[in-house]
Amino acid sequence: MSPKLSALHNRMFKAKAAKKLSFEDIGKKIGRDEVYVASIFYGQAKPSKEELEKLSAVLGLPENHLKEELGEGFYPDRGGLMSLPPTDPVLYRFYEMIQVFGYPLKAIIHEKFGDGIMSAIDFSAKVEKVENPKGDRVKITLDGKFLPYKKW
């Protein structure tokens, strides 16, 4: 857990651990993908009223506590959970991947789509475990809508 999380977000993590739930388990119970669920736990997504009701039931936390902090007036402050470069080894590897492969990926996007970017708003991500006799592999799929730069 991150020290920059609110007290409620920390309570959500404690409830998740106490119930021995994975993000995938919670996602199945509330009808969302595990990456989206994890983003709620880190304050990086705005859950709907229905999602808060379902989270309350799954985690055993009072619905009014969730709605008070994450309800109508809540808007995520995305991207502010860590310093750069990150010091956590997993997060640093993502940073390193962008340092090494960022420009090659950008060049290939431009070759295939033209001048533009991949949306992080119209976006989904998936993490898969791929078993391999030489050591299990982490497969991450980032799926974002292409947004061409506007000319005016």
Catalytic residues: 93, 96, 119
The counts of H helices and E strands in the chain are 6, 2
Question: Where do we find the tokens 């030489």?
Answer: 134
Within its chain, how far is the Cα of 38 from the centroid? 5
Contact (Cβ atoms closer than 8 angstroms) between residue 47 and residue 70: yes
- Closest to 15 (Cα-Cα) out of 49, 76, 65: 65
Contacts 24+ apart (CB under 8 A), 11-19: 11/61, 11/65, 12/41, 12/55, 12/59, 12/61, 13/41, 15/59, 15/60, 15/61, 16/41, 16/59, 19/58, 19/59, 19/60
